[in-house]
């Protein structure tokens, strides 16, 4: 028994060391083995052994020479971005995005497709498969290691299904992980939209460290929050943590698709914004979200007033998040945030400063997402990359036990944890 425990511990340590070096490589982009040893605190021999494994797996490559402080030249290494990639998919209520990304989380290609009103979940799934398959065929020389999927919540991790999606029928009947794994024959990692985006922000954030709390607020077709604490997502017992869009702000408000009344999402989502704008102009679903954006940017008084109203309601959700979680950073992103970012931030910050406990606000920053495009498809890719970094031997070592060195199921069935 003692020998077994010693073996398990040794395997776990080796896996942690591998993960540590991969994250350092990701952060440094290009560096020497001596730099990895210095920054990781590992012995040079340990670093050399691990990098040799990585090279045998084609996970890293030697990419030239680096000149050190004293003029000494060292062989530079980097992650293999030429041959290896991950797929990222973001499914929203009115569109979906598919993309391929290198192991630094940089986009190789991203494509967005609109979803027609009335299309059901099965039809959307077929469209997603078609778009992703078509993109993969464009890069026949790339090995796709894993697929990350960012989806609208609430997502029940226990059942592996989306509980409800506004205006779209049938998601509750589809076992998402099973179907994507069956189609692509690679590990599939699923997170809710805001969770995926929160991980993407946390991965590249210079403001936060592993002990901080970062909250990403998705201001989009739905409203949600992804919460990263101590480098890990706060997901809750069934994965529904952060569903601020379904917090009640008016007990006498309109009925929500979730069955509740007066949910925040019904007051400030992009769907609500377009609906109210059509009503204000006496239109019958003639104006689209693109029209709404254009009207705000042209400073149409009706559109601007409605957009400010959306920002005011969003502020209520953010105030509750700050008072509940005391985060280091609030990051606001997605399509509604980018309608007029300056106006949105000014309005939200002004509202928050008036209503949040002063001592709490002193340590909290509120900023716009660093991703101008679809942060959630980037997040989908990053949760896949992180899974690879957590247990690279599973992906590259043919002798690796599918259950991993610790005897548990592979990491795509575990909670995601990041190291900066």
pLDDT tens digits for range 205-231: 765 566 688 999 999 888 999 999 887
With 50 as the cut, is the pLDDT of residue 118 above it? yes
Is there a single domain that holds both residue 293 and residue 381?
A: no
With b meaning 16 or more CB within 10 Å and e meaning fewer, what string describes 73-107? eeebbbbbbeebbbbbbbbbbbbbbbbbbbbebee
**16 domain residue, yes or no:** yes
The last residue of one of the domains, among 79, 106, 124, is: 79
Q: How far is residue 312 from each of residues 94, 251, 305, 416, measured CA to CA in Å?
A: 24, 18, 11, 33
Q: Cα(first)–Cα(last) distance of the chain, in Å?
A: 35
**122 domain residue, yes or no:** yes
3 state DSSP class of 252? coil
Is there a single domain that holds both residue 288 and residue 313?
A: yes
What is the C-alpha separation between 376 and 195, in angstroms, rounded?
9
User: Within 109-188, where are the H helices?
Assistant: 121-137, 176-184
Helix, strand, coil percentages (3-state) for the chain, rounded to 5, are: 45, 20, 35
Is there a single domain that holds both residue 23 and residue 94?
A: no
Tell me what the mean pLDDT of segment 309-327 comes to: 95
Tell me what the mean pLDDT of segment 299-306 comes to: 97
Is there a single domain that holds both residue 167 and residue 120?
A: yes
Is there a single domain that holds both residue 241 and residue 309?
A: yes
- Lookup result for tokens 């069955």: 259
**420 domain residue, yes or no:** no
Tell me what the mean pLDDT of segment 31-49 comes to: 92
| pLDDT tens per residue across span 151-198 | 886 676 666 667 655 556 777 778 888 999 999 999 999 988 888 889
What is the C-alpha separation between 187 and 177, in angstroms, rounded?
9
**63 domain residue, yes or no:** yes
What is the C-alpha separation between 225 and 217, in angstroms, rounded?
5
CATH number at residue 40: 1.10.10.10
CATH number at residue 97: 3.30.420.40
Q: Which are the contacts of 358, defined by CB distance < 8 A and separation ≥ 6?
A: none
| Structure-token pair, residue 391 | 């247990």
Question: Is the Cα dihedral 360, 362, 363, 367 positive or negative?
Answer: positive
- Give me the pLDDT at residue 207, please: 58
**30 domain residue, yes or no:** yes
The last residue of one of the domains, among 79, 99, 117, is: 79
| Structure-token pair, residue 127 | 């469209």
Count: domains in the chain: 3
Is there a single domain that holds both residue 348 and residue 291?
A: yes
Q: Give every strand in the sheet of 31-32, ordered side by side.
A: 31-32, 73-79, 60-67
**419 domain residue, yes or no:** no
Half-sphere exposure of 94 (CA within 13 A, CB side): 13
**281 domain residue, yes or no:** yes
Half-sphere exposure of 243 (CA within 13 A, CB side): 24
With 70 as the cut, is the pLDDT of residue 398 above it? no
What is the percent of the chain where pLDDT is above 70?
Answer: 85
In eight-state DSSP terms, residue 410 is P
**418 domain residue, yes or no:** no
How many CB atoms are located within 10 Å of the residue 238 CB? Answer: 13
User: Within 243-401, where are the H helices?
Assistant: 265-268, 270-280, 289-297, 301-325, 341-355, 358-361, 375-390, 392-396
Judged by average pLDDT, the poorest of 30-34, 103-107, 287-291, 358-362 is 358-362
What is the C-alpha separation between 87 and 108, in angstroms, rounded?
10
Is there a single domain that holds both residue 322 and residue 220?
A: yes
The last residue of one of the domains, among 48, 79, 110, is: 79
What is the C-alpha separation between 305 and 404, in angstroms, rounded?
55
Q: Which are the contacts of 380, defined by CB distance < 8 A and separation ≥ 6?
A: 88, 89, 90, 99, 148, 149, 150, 191, 196
Across the chain, mean pLDDT equals 86
Tell me what the mean pLDDT of segment 390-412 comes to: 59
The beta strands (E) that lie in 206-274 are given as: 213-219, 223-229, 232-233
Is there a single domain that holds both residue 333 and residue 212?
A: yes
What is the C-alpha separation between 371 and 166, in angstroms, rounded?
25
What range does the domain containing 120 cover? 84-196+375-413
Is there a single domain that holds both residue 24 and residue 107?
A: no
With 70 as the cut, is the pLDDT of residue 370 above it? yes
What is the C-alpha separation between 267 and 325, in angstroms, rounded?
23
Is there a single domain that holds both residue 46 and residue 115?
A: no
Is there a single domain that holds both residue 359 and residue 227?
A: yes
Q: Are strands 223-229 and 232-233 parallel, antiparallel or unpaired?
A: antiparallel
- Give me the pLDDT at residue 272, please: 94
pTM of this structure: 0.80
Alpha carbon 194 to chain centroid, angstroms = 6
With 60 as the cut, is the pLDDT of residue 287 above it? yes
Q: Which are the contacts of 294, defined by CB distance < 8 A and separation ≥ 6?
A: none
Binning pLDDT at 50, 70 and 90, where does residue 405 land? very low
Q: Are strands 223-229 and 213-219 parallel, antiparallel or unpaired?
A: antiparallel
- Give me the pLDDT at residue 222, please: 87
Among candidate residues 57, 100, 52, the one with its CA nearest the CA of residue 80: 57
What is the C-alpha separation between 326 and 213, in angstroms, rounded?
7
Is there a single domain that holds both residue 298 and residue 334?
A: yes
- Give me the pLDDT at residue 204, please: 74
């Amino acid at each position: 028994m003692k020998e077994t425990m010693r073996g398990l511990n040794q395997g776990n340590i080796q896996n942690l060391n591998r993960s540590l070096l991969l994250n350092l490589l990701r952060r440094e982009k290009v560096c020497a083995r001596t730099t990895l040893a210095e920054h990781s605190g590992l012995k040079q021999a340990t670093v050399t052994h691990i990098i040799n494994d990585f090279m045998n797996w084609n996970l890293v490559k030697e990419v030239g020479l680096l000149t050190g402080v004293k003029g000494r030249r060292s062989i530079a290494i980097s992650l293999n971005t030429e041959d290896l990639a991950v797929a990222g998919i973001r499914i929203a209520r009115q569109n979906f995005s598919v993309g391929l990304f290198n192991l630094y989380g940089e986009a190789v290609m991203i494509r967005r497709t609109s979803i027609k009103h009335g299309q059901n979940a099965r039809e959307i799934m077929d469209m997603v498969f078609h778009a992703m398959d078509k993109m993969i065929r464009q890069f026949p020389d790339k090995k796709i290691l894993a697929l990350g999927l960012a989806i609208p919540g609430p997502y029940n991790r226990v059942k592996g299904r989306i509980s409800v999606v506004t205006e779209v029928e049938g998601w509750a009947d589809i076992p998402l992980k099973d179907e994507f794994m069956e189609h692509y024959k690679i590990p599939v990692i699923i997170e809710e939209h805001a969770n995926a985006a929160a991980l993407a922000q946390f991965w590249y954030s210079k403001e936060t460290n592993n002990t901080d709390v970062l909250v990403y607020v998705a201001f989009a077709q739905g409203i949600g929050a992804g919460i990263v604490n101590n480098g890990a997502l706060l997901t809750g017992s069934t994965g529904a943590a952060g569903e601020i869009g379904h917090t009640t702000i008016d007990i006498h408000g309109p009925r929500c698709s979730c069955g509740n009344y007066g949910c925040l999402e019904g007051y400030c989502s992009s769907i609500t914004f377009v609906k109210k704008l059509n009503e204000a102009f006496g239109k019958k679903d003639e104006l689209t979200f693109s029209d709404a954006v254009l009207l705000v940017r042209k400073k149409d008084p009706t559109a601007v007033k409605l957009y400010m109203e959306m920002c005011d309601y969003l502020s209520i959700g953010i105030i509750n998040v700050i008072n509940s979680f005391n985060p280091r950073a609030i990051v606001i992103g997605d399509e509604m945030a980018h309608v007029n970012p300056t106006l949105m931030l000014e309005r939200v910050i002004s509202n928050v400063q008036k209503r949040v406990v002063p001592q709490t606000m002193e340590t909290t920053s509120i900023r716009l997402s660093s991703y101008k495009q679809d942060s959630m498809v980037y997040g989908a890719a990053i949760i896949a990359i992180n899974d690879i970094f957590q247990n690279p031997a599973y992906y590259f070592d043919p002798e690796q036990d599918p259950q991993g060195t610790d005897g548990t199921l592979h990491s795509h069935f575990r909670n995601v944890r990041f190291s900066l």
